[in-house]
């Protein structure tokens, strides 16, 4: 079955450490997205990518970085510059055709905690 796989499910980061969240999809979707979810604030867009080797900043990109070297993969790095990284991170994907039908397909999320 096609879908989006996020790993790890739980991640703990020490102060000053960079960590990378993995997102892989086998849906052949062109676009991929990273969202951050905090209680009471809904989903906020961090970065998105429409094609390989191209990506754009979302609303809260500071302290984060991404790469899109393969169509299937869109890893997110949370850098030490992100002062409040504790949150639930969601990866999503779509095509221009499917986004009109049902929006995005989401992964199961990664919960990042600063220790």
Partner 1 sequence: EDQVTQSPEALRLQEGESSSLNCSYTVSGLRGLFWYRQDPGKGPEFLFTLYSAGEEKEKERLKATLTKKESFLHITAPKPEDSATYLCAVRGRSYAGGTSYGKLTFGQGTILTVHP
Contact with partner 1 (CB under 8 A) among 27, 43, 60, 114? 43
- Taking CB under 8 A as the rule, does residue 23 contact partner 1? no
Q: For residues 22 and 106, which CB has a smaller minimum distance to partner 1 in the complex?
A: 106
- In the complex, the smallest distance separating the C-beta of residue 93 from partner 1, rounded to whole angstroms, is 10
Burial class for 90, CB neighbours closer than 10 Å (0-12, 13-18, 19+):
buried
Q: How far apart are CA 22 and CA 69, in angstroms?
A: 13
The candidate with the shortest Cα–Cα distance to 78, out of 37, 41, 46, is: 46
Q: How far apart are CA 102 and CA 105, in angstroms?
A: 8
Q: Convert residues 61-100 into a mask of x (bound to partner 1 by CB under 8 A) and - (unbound).
A: ---------------------------x-x-x-x-x--xx
- Taking CB under 8 A as the rule, does residue 2 contact partner 1? no
């Amino acid at each position: 079955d096609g879908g989006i796989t996020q790993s790890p499910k739980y991640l703990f980061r020490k102060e000053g450490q960079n960590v990378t969240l993995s997102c892989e999809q086998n849906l052949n979707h062109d676009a991929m997205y990273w969202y951050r979810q905090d209680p009471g604030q809904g989903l906020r867009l961090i970065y998105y990518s429409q094609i390989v080797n191209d990506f754009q900043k979302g609303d809260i990109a500071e302290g984060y970085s991404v790469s899109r070297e393969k169509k299937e993969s869109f890893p997110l790095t949370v850098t030490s510059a992100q002062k409040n990284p504790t949150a639930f991170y969601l990866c999503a994907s779509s095509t221009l055709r499917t986004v009109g039908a049902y929006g995005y397909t989401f992964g199961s999320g990664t919960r990042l905690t600063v220790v």
